[in-house]
Amino acid sequence: MAKIVVVEDEAELAAAIAARLRSDGHLVEIAADGPAAVRTVAAAQPDAVVLDLMLPGFDGLEVCRQIQRDRPVPVIMLTARGSETDLVVGLEVGADDYLSKPFSMRELTARIRAVLRRAERSARETATMLRTGEVEVDISRRRAWRGGQLVGLTATEFDLLAYLLAAPGVVRTRAELLAEVWGYRDGAGPRTVDSHVRAVRGKCGPGVIRTVHGVGYAGADGQGR
């Protein structure tokens, strides 16, 4: 479920889009002109915006410019003009996708699903803080805390913990960990992995890395067990 602002001055079309999105389980707010669109987006902080190009007040391109300046949000532009220039400008001012009128509701919901998925993925990729239970890891500053207390991890211990927590619950074999964390450094073997896991658990708590017998290890999946 996502929060979506629909900006469209044709009341019937706006209502039809809103009805379809609500039946898909989304929360929907409607705005019918440029200034109202900017206000509504600022107040609602939506996950995505469906934005008509031709609007009273100021047009969709200007709306897009203004809302993207405040906070990046996925935008799907609706255009009746079919002019390539509008589309190019729309994409330049930060629209993620566009649909030419007339379009089917099925097409619109598919596009919305796609932009939401993309936004979610990029949010995950830019997140630098990983958390599980009482353990926090700051990837960019290479620091870890347990219950708010800085934990002294060696570089390899940090890399191991960060790698496992980046994909919580995903089981990694010792061979995978050796390749990804140690890069097959001389002298590193399966026992090296085990001893580092022990060290990380000793410093960060036993639940932070889970043993999967006969397979390998997985980062705690956020339940903080």
User: Which residues form the interface with Ca ion (CB under 5 A)?
Assistant: 9, 52, 54
3-state secondary structure of 172: strand
Q: Which is nearer to Ca ion, 14 or 135 (CB)?
A: 14
Query: Among residues 20 and 196, whose Cβ is nearest to Ca ion?
Result: 20
Q: Which is nearer to Ca ion, 39 or 142 (CB)?
A: 39
- Shortest Cβ 82–Ca ion spacing (Å): 14
- Going by C-alpha positions, the residue among 126, 125, 106 that lies closest to residue 114 is 106
Candidates 210, 197, 206; CA nearest to 154 is 197
Chain centre to alpha carbon of residue 126:
8
3-state SS of 2-69?
CEEEEECCCHHHHHHHHHHHHHCCCEEEEECCHHHHHHHHHHHCCCEEEEECCCCCCCHHHHHHHHHH
Are 182 and 192 in contact, with CB atoms under 8 Å apart?
yes
- Tell me the closest approach of the beta carbon of residue 96 to Ca ion, in angstroms: 19
Q: Contact 46/3 with Cβ under 8 angstroms?
A: yes
Minimum distance of Ca ion from residue 151's CB (angstroms): 56
Is the Cβ of residue 29 or residue 59 nearer to Ca ion in the bound state? Answer: 59
Query: Under a CB-based contact definition with an 8 Å cutoff, are residues 174 and 190 in contact?
Result: yes
Using the minimum distance from each CB to Ca ion, give the nearer residue, 40 or 132. 40
Of 54 and 166, which has the nearer Cβ to Ca ion? 54
State the minimum distance, in angstroms, from the CB of residue 221 to Ca ion: 46
**Minimal distance, residue 55 CB to Ca ion, in Å:** 6
Rounded to a whole number of angstroms, the minimum distance from the CB of residue 200 to Ca ion is 57
